[in-house]
A and B are shown apart, each in its own frame.
Chain A
Amino acid sequence: MDTISFNKFRYSEFSSLHPLVIAAFFLVGCSVVMVCSSPVVLLTAFFSGLLYLTYLKGISSFFPQALSGVCIIFVMAVINGFFTHDGNTVLFYLNANRITLEGFLFGANAGAMLSSVVYLMQILSAMLTSDKIIYLFGRVVPSVGLLISMVFRSIPLLRDRFFQIHSAQRGIGKTTHGFFSNIRLRTKEFSILTAWSLESSIETSDSMAARGYGLKGRTSFHLFRFSSRDKYLLAFFLVVGILFAAGIACGFTTVYFYPDFRMIAPFHMQLLFAAGFGAFLLTPFIIDLIGDRKWKKFDLMG
């Protein structure tokens, strides 16, 4: 499908699912990560996110991605360690301030949460092309869906117009020498762009009015098909989401760092939760791998 996508990613079977299914996945995934404080669960999220992102972007992206995640964890650990003085295990004193092990651990844990969310968001941006964004917003507020669609329309239009204006100004010998004349010319070009675009938006609104925009009961059209595969996956994500919520409510993922590192549920329950969550986060990866296998079998050229 020819849509605005923000990065170069490989084909993903998961992204061909219905947008609601994709949205449900990220909603569950991000919510769990953001309310968990268990290092085991967060590290699981960190590694599954990194694994799937590497699969999507290619092996060469592994090192920079992993490095950026580790940097986030490290920076968060250092910042928290030096600014929070709670915790009982004192490592050393700095200007009469206690620098504690718990402080560093809490920071690192928060860093793992942050970098997991960053990975998930990067995957999300690969999955949600412009048409899916428009569809999802259109489900909630139809006029916002249309608005986003018009924005996606006007970005390339304005860019092309600006190039035309720039080229026209050069064509009549308007060139710049130095910083200030450059700014003056750019301002002028920008003002032409504004006037031109406002003028042409009158014609756009005419064309909208001519096709009955403003009538009551506008619907929002889309090309997505909700197949049985989407139905099962959506149900699966919702059930799993409820299970995760129950687990979180029971405190399986709650961990206290201050004054001492302390878990409220038994460790094996935390491991169980992490295993389940890891499996959930890798569902897209598994779906993609199955998709790849099918394509290999289907190879028409033998």
Chain B
Amino acid sequence: MDEDILTTLKILIIGESGVGKSSLLLRFTEDNFDPEQTLTIGVDFKTKRLNIDGSRVKLAIWDTAGQERFRTLTPSYYRDAQGAILVFDVSSYATFSKLEMWLNELETYSTKNDIIKMIVGNKIDVDKREVSREEAMRFAKRHHTLYIEASAKTKDGVESAFEELVHKIIQTPNLWDSYEMNNIHIGNKGQPNQSTCAGYCSLV
């Protein structure tokens, strides 16, 4: 792998369905917006390299499905994530009020104690706003998270949201420094492969 990569970070995007998680990711990784993006099934991920504070980091960003039914599946992929983006839709109060539940979910399943959390209010381009900035900020303050507003459609705030989060992770060396960074490496783990079943049926 590239020599100059400081570290590889794993970042999660979680939140209710339809708040624009995949759109935020698409905007950030490919600077693109697709109004007809299909529903995410289970989890998906994209990678991107980023220059933060003079060091190059590789991001593996895991996008998750927001539907309740997938919640038996997605938390397995929270493992070892250093950062999490909790997305809600500023034009839907229901998605905001579910944030508490998502924070609990993170608390329960994330394996790192000091995972950095960021709340993103998406779709600020929409006229009909149901969640005020003040209220969202109060919520973020109460839960010690970062807060940023963005629009995947107009590109506002997307880049800075990711950069801010990575910046914060880099400032917390405990998160990424001392542990082996092998969660992204591919290949032998030195243990006999227990699953001899080929193909994908064993995955889900």
User: Do the two shown chains form a genuine complex with each other?
Assistant: no
